[in-house]
Amino acid sequence: MSSYPQEASWINLLSSTLGFTPGTQEWVFAAIGLVFIYCVIILPSAAMMSFLDRKLSADFQARVGPNRAGPAGVFQPLADLVKLLQKEAASTDWNWREALWLGVHTMALYSTVAVIPLGSMALLVDTDMSVFLPFWAALVLALGTMLLGFSQASVPGWFGGIRIAAQVLAGAFPSLVAVLCAGIHSGDYRWSAFVGAQAAFPLRWTAFSDPFQFIAFVVFVAGGLVMLAVPPMDAAVSLRDLHGGVSSHLFGRRLSLYRLGRFYGFFLWSVMATVIFLGAWTLPFGLGGVLRTREELWLLQLLETLWLLGKTFLLMLAITSLARVHPRGRIDQVTDFSWKVLSPFSLFALIGSALWTGWGLLR
């Protein structure tokens, strides 16, 4: 377990760089940090992943994919965003219920930016329950999404709302148990503890440390897909199955907000999976230690974040390609899969990893 010295915290780094007086309130830094993370990391990631997703699925289907906006269509996400932002409202009466629940949905999602781990010095909140905060956020998100669906006052909205709530409940249990497995391995639920329990070499990652952890890893990722309705588990919000479900009446700015939120959920879950199971941001070849002793903290933080994001994007691409070659599950198949396959396997992994770790401690 590693604990970093207080002077290496992100707050000190930020305040010394931006030239704030030492007495500045912490919430100022927190606000700046959140906006910074959102604009510099989440938005570009969303653009990149949506482009890669479309190109990847185009390749799988022997199509060309986006090719009009910019070289090879790389500016297509930007073009889409601009198009969505300038759309006019279809009706003049303002659906305040939709706006309210879209707001709850979005706030529940982005409240987790505060706990998203992006590097040893970018841990905004590192308590012994950091890892569980996204779960509570996901439950609030489920409520917001369900009522967003109800506010549409349409059949797809009603059914989408009910189904997405069912899906979140089904997915939360196995992924929560999977986190418990990883906690048994690391001994604590701090992000820093999960990082400290792993090393740069893949066989020292939690996912590959023992077979039960690998099962837990798979269950965690699949449970997250179910929970956040990420393809191929997105029957409740898909256009083909349910006319978009809870998003059936969203358009323009509201739709772009909603879609960005959907991406953020997927991104958050992949970052969590990478930090908990795939070696987090630990740099290879002992680079982290070297940079730390040389006090190159900005460079260290930058490299750590890039390394983490690189792994995260690979994981997301793997999931996306899997989603593109696999038919989307029906809602009953998705919940069945979660309750009848993921849950038993997660419990099996929990017992197994407990015995494995206990045996290791006794030995």
Partner 1 sequence: MKSSIFSTVRAYLYDVYLRFRSIWGSLLTALPYLWGAGELRKEVTEQYPDPISSRTADDLPARSRGLLFNDIQRCTGCKECEKICPVQCIRVDTEAGSDPTKLWVARFDIDFSKCVFCGLCVESCHPQSLMHSRQYEGAVYELKDLVASFGRGYVTAEQRMKWAALRKQAESDEVYL
User: What are the residues binding partner 1 (CB under 8 A)?
Assistant: 56, 59-64, 67-68, 321-322, 324-326, 341
Assess contact for 356 and 212: CB atoms under 8 A: yes
Rounded to a whole number of angstroms, the minimum distance from the CB of residue 72 to partner 1 is 11
Inter-axis angle of helices 297-325 and 211-228, nearest 10: 70
Which is closer to partner 1, CB of 4 or CB of 60?
60
Which is closer to partner 1, CB of 57 or CB of 95?
57
Which is closer to partner 1, CB of 63 or CB of 330?
63
Q: Tell me how far apart the alpha carbons of residues 51 and 79 are, in angstroms, rounded to a whole number.
A: 11
Rounded to a whole number of angstroms, the minimum distance from the CB of residue 356 to partner 1 is 20
Rounded to a whole number of angstroms, the minimum distance from the CB of residue 312 to partner 1 is 20
Rounded to a whole number of angstroms, the minimum distance from the CB of residue 68 to partner 1 is 6
Q: Tell me how far apart the alpha carbons of residues 174 and 127 are, in angstroms, rounded to a whole number.
A: 22
Q: Tell me how far apart the alpha carbons of residues 157 and 95 are, in angstroms, rounded to a whole number.
A: 14
Rounded to a whole number of angstroms, the minimum distance from the CB of residue 59 to partner 1 is 5
Which is closer to partner 1, CB of 341 or CB of 351?
341
Rounded to a whole number of angstroms, the minimum distance from the CB of residue 348 to partner 1 is 11
Which is closer to partner 1, CB of 122 or CB of 316?
316
**Four-CA torsion 162, 167, 169, 173, nearest 10 degrees:** 170
Rounded to a whole number of angstroms, the minimum distance from the CB of residue 291 to partner 1 is 35
DSSP single-letter state for residue 210: S
State the CB neighbour count (10 A cutoff) for residue 265.
23
Which is closer to partner 1, CB of 65 or CB of 252?
65
State the CB neighbour count (10 A cutoff) for residue 16.
12
Which is closer to partner 1, CB of 109 or CB of 219?
219
Which is closer to partner 1, CB of 16 or CB of 333?
333
Tokens read off for 336:
């069945």
Rounded to a whole number of angstroms, the minimum distance from the CB of residue 256 to partner 1 is 25
Helices marked H in the chain = 10-18, 26-37, 43-60, 76-85, 96-110, 133-151, 155-186, 191-196, 211-228, 239-242, 252-277, 287-293, 297-325, 331-336, 343-362
Assess contact for 281 and 305: CB atoms under 8 A: yes
Tokens read off for 201:
């070499």
Q: Tell me how far apart the alpha carbons of residues 152 and 17 are, in angstroms, rounded to a whole number.
A: 47
Minimal CA–CA distance to 312: which of 288, 336, 277?
277
